[in-house]
Amino acid sequence: MLRKTLSKNSFLLFFLIIFIPSFTHAEMQVYEEYKDYTIMRGDTLWDISQNELNDPFLWPKIWKENPDIKHPDRIYPDQKIRIPLYLLQKEAPAEKPTVVKKPKTAEKKPVEEIVEPEEIKHLVDRNILIASGYIADSIPDIGTVTDAPTDRTILGKNDFAYITCNKPVQRGDKFYIIKVIKKVNHPESGHGLGYLIEILGIAEVVENSGDPKILITTSYAEISQGDLLDNFHEILPSPALETPRKPDIHGFVVATKQLREVSGTFDIVYIDKGSNDGVEKGDLLATMLQSKHKIYNGIIQIINLRASTSTAIVRKCDREIVEGDRITNAKEG
C-alpha cells in the first residue's frame, strides 16, 4: 500500500515539473504593477522615466503615483519612490517593407522586390521642437485653464482640467497649453521683440457642456491653473540636410532656455533674425562672446522660423551662450 502511495506522489511530482510552464524573471515583471526605486544623486523624474519606462514623457505619471513629492524638481538621494510598471511602453512594430511587383513578361514569372522604406532624419525630435517654444508678437488670448476635478494644483499627462474659452468649443477640439515666460527686448536697441512663449502640453476637449473639460494628452512641463491656451496646429520637424547652409547673417541672441524637462544636454536660443531676413530652417550660425575681440563660443542650428525671430538649438558650445551674444557666419567660427 505504501509503495502505491509513493508511486502516485512521484507521478504527480513528475507531471508538475514537466507540464507546468516556468516563467522567466522578465515574464514575471509583466505582472508587477509597481517597482520600488531609491533616488540616486543626479536623478530626475525625466531620467527615471526614460530608464525604467522607456518613455521620458511619462514622468508626470511617476510624480502622480508619489504624492509625497511636492514638486517634481525636488527629489533627493535615498528618497524612496514607486514606479508604475504598467505604463511600460511596448516597442512599436517595425514598418512593413513596401512590396513592388514587376509587370508580367512572357519569359519570366512575376518577381517580388523588397524595397526598404527610407529612414528620414530630422533636424530635431518633434517633442523637443514643440517644447522649445517661440517668440510671439503678442500674447495669445484664446482661453485659460481654470480648475481641475481633483485637488491637485499641478497637472500632467492624462489629467483632466476645466477651461474657459473666448469661442465655442466642440468635443475633439485641441489646444496648446502655454505660459508666457517674459517680454523680450532687443539687447542693443531695447526695442520690444515680442513675448517668449513656452508650450507646456497639448489638450483635447472631452466635454463641452457647462465649463469645457479637457484631457491633457501630452505634457512637456508642469501645468497649473491660470496657464493659457493657444490654437492647435501641427508642428513637425524639418528633414535634416546633408550639407546645411551657412548664410552670411549677423544679429544677436535675444533669449535663451534650457530644456531641463526635455533633456539636460540641449540648450535653446532665440535670435533676432527670421524668414524676412533670409534665414531658413537648418541654417548653421556661429555665436560670439560679448567682447571687443572675436571670440567664438558656439554653433547653433535653426529649427523653427517666424518672420523676424528664430528658434535654434545649440549644436556645439565651448562656453555658455547668453543673451546679448552676437551671431555671425558659421564659416568664420
pLDDT digits (tens, 9 = 90+) for 294-331: 899 899 999 999 999 999 999 988 888 999 999 999 87
* pLDDT tens digits for range 175-186: 999 999 999 999
Residue 157 has pLDDT above 50, yes or no: yes
Alpha carbon of 227 to those of 119, 181, 212: distances in Å? 37, 11, 15
pLDDT for residue 217: 95
Rounded mean pLDDT, 213-221:
94
**DSSP state letters, 44-59:** -HHHHHHHHHS-GGGH
Q: What is the dihedral of CA 217, 219, 222, 223, to 10 degrees?
A: -40
pLDDT for residue 58: 80
Rounded mean pLDDT, 105-117:
57
Q: pLDDT category, 219, cuts 50, 70, 90?
A: very high
pTM (predicted TM-score): 0.65
Contact between 75 and 63 (Cβ < 8 Å): no
Burial class (CB in 10 A: 0-12, 13-18, 19+), 30: exposed
pLDDT for residue 278: 95
Q: pLDDT category, 187, cuts 50, 70, 90?
A: very high
Cell of 262: 526635455
Q: pLDDT category, 112, cuts 50, 70, 90?
A: low
Average predicted confidence (pLDDT) for the chain: 81
* pLDDT tens digits for range 42-100: 788 877 888 888 877 788 888 888 888 877 767 888 889 998 887 775 433 444 445 55
- The secondary element (H helix, E strand) that includes residue 61 is helix 59-64
Rounded mean pLDDT, 153-168:
91
Rounded mean pLDDT, 237-249:
91
Residue 108 has pLDDT above 80, yes or no: no
Domains and CATH numbers, the chain: 26-87 (3.10.350.10), 126-231 (no CATH), 251-329 (2.40.30)
- Out of 77-91, 110-124, 190-204, least confident range: 110-124
| Element counts in the chain: helices (H) and strands (E) | 5, 19
